[in-house]
Amino acid sequence: MPLQPIKFYQTGTFTVGNRLLDESQRTVQANMRRTNSLNSGHRACQGCGEALGARYALDAAMQATKNRLIAANATGCLEVFSTPYPETSWQIPWMHSLFGNAASVATGIAAALKVKGKQDVRVIAQGGDGGTTDIGFACLSGMFERNDDVLYICYDNEAYMNTGVQRSSATPPAARTATTPAAGAHPGNSFGTGKNVPLIAMAHRIPFVATASVANLHDLEAKVNKAMTIHGARYIHIHVPCPLGWGSHPSDTLKVARLAVESGLFPLFEAEHGEITASLRLRKKAPVEAYLKLQRRFSHLFGEKPDRDTIAMIQAIADRNIEKFGLESP
C-alpha cells in the first residue's frame, strides 16, 4: 500500500491558518494578535492587492523584529490611501517623504539608528512599481550598492495606479494602460520593453533578493522572515493585483495573483548574493490565457477574434520563465 508521508494537514500549508498545525507553523496572518500594521479604515479600493500585500509583509516583519520596525514609504496608492489627513492607518512608525526617494530616506533612518545604537530596530522602505523601478530606481540602486541595512519592498501592480493607471517599466506587454491604449496596430504596451528589477537587484550582489505574491502567503512570510534575519540591503518584489487598474473583479484579486504565478508569468524565487537559491514549483500549471482573461486590460486580446499571436507571445514569456527559473518539477 502506498503510504503517504504522514505530515498532511487537510489544507497543508496553503491556507492562512490551520487549526491542526502547531501555532508556530501557522502564518502571522492567522494570529489573532497580529499587528495589523496597516489598519482598517484605509481608503484603498475594494479588494486592493497592495493593501493586502503591505499588511502581509509588514505584519510578518513586525513579528520577526518583535515590533521594532520603522517604514519609509514612497508616494503612490499605498501612501495616499493610508495617510490622508487627519487619519493614518499605520500602526507602526512610518514616514513618507517623496515619490522617488524611499530607499534613501530608509538609508537615513538606518544610519540614524546605527549612530543611536538602536540596531535592534529594523528599517523597511516600500513603494509601488513606479516608485521603485522608475523614479526611485537611482536611490534604490544606491542603497543596494552601499549595502545599507534596509529591506526594500516593491508592491508591483504593474502601472502607476495612483495617477490613474499609466504605464511603468513594470507594465507587462500588451497590457492596456491610460498611456498605452488598446488602439492602433499593436494595442497595449509594447513587447520587448520594461525591466526586471529583481534580476537587477541581484546584479548588485546584495545578500537577499526575492519575489513573492499575495497569492502565496506562506512563501511571502517566509521570505520576509528570512530577509529580517539578514543585515544589509535586501529586496522583495511582491506581485499585487490592482482591481481598478487591471479591470479585474475585486473578489478575484487573489485568483488573478495565483494565476500569474501558476502560469509562470510571475516566477517566485529567491537569491542570495546574486545567485538564485530557490524557486517555487508551480502547483497547478495554468495557461496564460486563464490569467489574461480575468482582466479587462487584456480584453482586446479576446472577444470575437482572439489575438492568438499575441497570446502566444505572452505564453512564450511564461514558458521561458518556467524554463529559466525551473518552475516545473523535474
Partner 1 sequence: MLQQLEGSRAIAQGIALCKPEVVCAYPITPQTHIVEALAEMVRTGELANCEFINVESEFAALSVAIGASAAGARSYTATASQGLLYMCEAVYNAAGLGLPIVMTIGNRAIGAPINIWNDHSDSMAMRDAGWIQLYAETNQEALDLHIQAFKLAEALSCPVMVCVDGFILTHAYERIEIPEAHDVDAFLPPYDPVQVLDCNDPVSIGAMVGPEAFAEVKYLQHRKQLAALELIPEIASEFSARFKRDSGGLVKPYRLEGAETIVVALGSMNGTIKDVIDEMRNEGHAIGSLAIVSFRPFPLQAVRAALVDAKRIVILEKSLSVGLGGPLSDGVRKSLSGTGLHGHTVIAGLGGRAITRKSLKALFVKAEMDELELLDFLDLDRDIVNVQLEREKETRRSGPVAENVLKSIGTVASRIA
Partner 2 sequence: MKKPFAITLDPGSSLANHTGSWRTERPVYVDRLPPCNHACPAGEDIQGWLYHAEGGDYRRAWEALVKHNPFPAIMGRVCYHPCEDACNRGKLDEAVGIHAVERFLGDLAIRRGWLPGKPAGPGAKRVLVVGSGPSGLSCAYHLRLMGHGVVIVDSAKAAGGMMRYGIPKYRLPRDVLDAEISRIESMGVEFRLNSRIDDIMAAMAGFDAAFLAVGAHLARRTDIPAGDASRILDAVCLLHDMEDGPPPMLGRRVVVYGGGNTALDVARTAKRLGALESLIVYRRTKEQMPAHESELNEALQEGILFKWLSTVKAMDEGGVTVEKMVLDETGFPQPTGEFEKMEADSLVLALGQESELGLLKNVPDLEIENGTVKVNSSMMTSHPGIFAGGDMVPSDRTVTSAVGHGKKAAKNIDAWLRNETYIAPEKHEIAGFDKMNTWYYSDAPRTVQPELDIARRGSTFDEVVGGLTGKNALFEARRCLSCGNCFECDNCFGVCPDNAVIKLGPGLRFAFDYDYCKGCGLCAAECPCGAIKMVPESI
Ligand X SMILES: Cc1ncc(C[n+]2csc(CCOP(=O)(O)OP(=O)(O)O)c2C)c(N)n1
The footprint of partner 1 (CB under 8 A) covers: 67-70, 72-73, 79-80, 82-86, 88, 90-98, 100-101, 104-116, 121, 138-139, 141-142, 145-146
> Is 53 near ligand SF4 (CB under 6 A)?
no
115 binds, among ligand SF4, partner 2, ligand X, none (CB under 5 to 8 A by kind): none
State the CB neighbour count (10 A cutoff) for residue 320.
12
Taking CB under 6 A as the binding criterion, the range among 17-25, 126-134, 140-148, 231-239 that sits at the site for ligand X is: 126-134
In the complex, least distance from residue 55 CB atom to partner 2, rounded to whole angstroms: 7
**Residue range at the interface with partner 2 (CB under 8 A); choices 31-39, 116-124, 150-158, 266-274:** 31-39
Nearest to 197 by CA among 155, 160, 163: 155
Locate 94 and state its grid cell: 512610518
Asked if 225 touches partner 2 (CB under 8 A), the answer is no
Residues 6+ apart with CB under 8 A from 18: 9, 10, 11, 12, 25, 26, 30
Answer yes or no: are the C-beta atoms of 242 and 214 closer than 8 Å.
Answer: no
Q: Does 48 bind ligand SF4 (CB under 6 A)?
A: yes
129 binds, among partner 1, ligand SF4, Mg ion, none (CB under 5 to 8 A by kind): Mg ion
Report yes or no: 34 and 28 within 8 Å, Cβ to Cβ: yes
To ligand X, the closest distance from the beta carbon of 153 in angstroms equals: 12
| Among 21, 28, 44, 268, contact with ligand SF4 (rule: CB under 6 A) | 44
Among left, alpha and beta (phi > 0; psi -120 to 50; other), residue 294 is alpha
**For residues 200 and 187, what is the distance between their CA atoms, to the nearest angstrom?**
28
Q: Work out which of 107, 157, 180, 189 binds Mg ion, going by CB under 5 A.
A: 157
Chain-centroid distance of CA 9 in Å reads 27
Is residue 237 a contact residue for partner 2 (CB under 8 A)? no
Grid cell locating 63: 513579528
Quickly tell me which residue has 509601488 as its cell.
128
**Which residues have CB under 8 Å from 37's CB, separation 6+?**
54, 55, 58, 59, 61, 62, 90, 91, 92
> What residues make contact with ligand SF4 under the rule CB under 6 A?
44-45, 48, 50, 77, 81, 157, 161, 242-245
> What residues make contact with ligand X under the rule CB under 6 A?
50, 75-78, 99-100, 127-131, 135, 157, 160-163, 168
> What residues make contact with partner 2 under the rule CB under 8 A?
1-4, 6, 8-20, 26-27, 29-30, 32, 36, 39-44, 46-49, 51-52, 55, 82-83, 85-92, 217, 243, 249-255, 258, 283-284
